[in-house]
Amino acid sequence: MSARDLGSARAGLNGWLAQRISALYLGGFSLFATLRLLLDPIADYPGWRGWLGGGAMRVALAIFLLAVIVHGWLGLRSVWMDYLHSDGCRFLASVVTGLVLLTLALWSVQIVLWDLRP
Partner 1 sequence: MPNNKHRPVYLNLFAIHLPITGLVSVLHRVTGVLAMLLVPAALALLQRSLEGESGYAQARALIGSPAGRLAAVVTIWLMAQHFFSGLRHLLLDLDVGVTLAWARRSAAAVFLASAAVTLLAAWRLL
Which CB sits closer to partner 1, 14 or 110?
A: 110
Q: Between residues 6 and 96, which has the closer beta carbon with respect to partner 1?
A: 96
Cα 83 from chain centre: 22
The closest of 23, 22, 19 to 78, measured between CA atoms, is: 19
Binding residues (CB under 8 A) for partner 1: these are 20, 23-24, 27, 30, 44-45, 48-49, 52, 68, 72, 75-76, 78-79, 104, 107-108, 110-111, 115-116
* 71 annotated as ligand-binding: yes
Identity at 68, one-letter amino acid code = V
By beta-carbon proximity to partner 1, the closer residue of 6 and 14 is 14
Q: Does 85 count as an annotated binding residue?
A: no
Closest approach, Cβ 5 to partner 1, in A, equals 28
As measured in angstroms, the least distance from the Cβ of 83 to partner 1 is 9
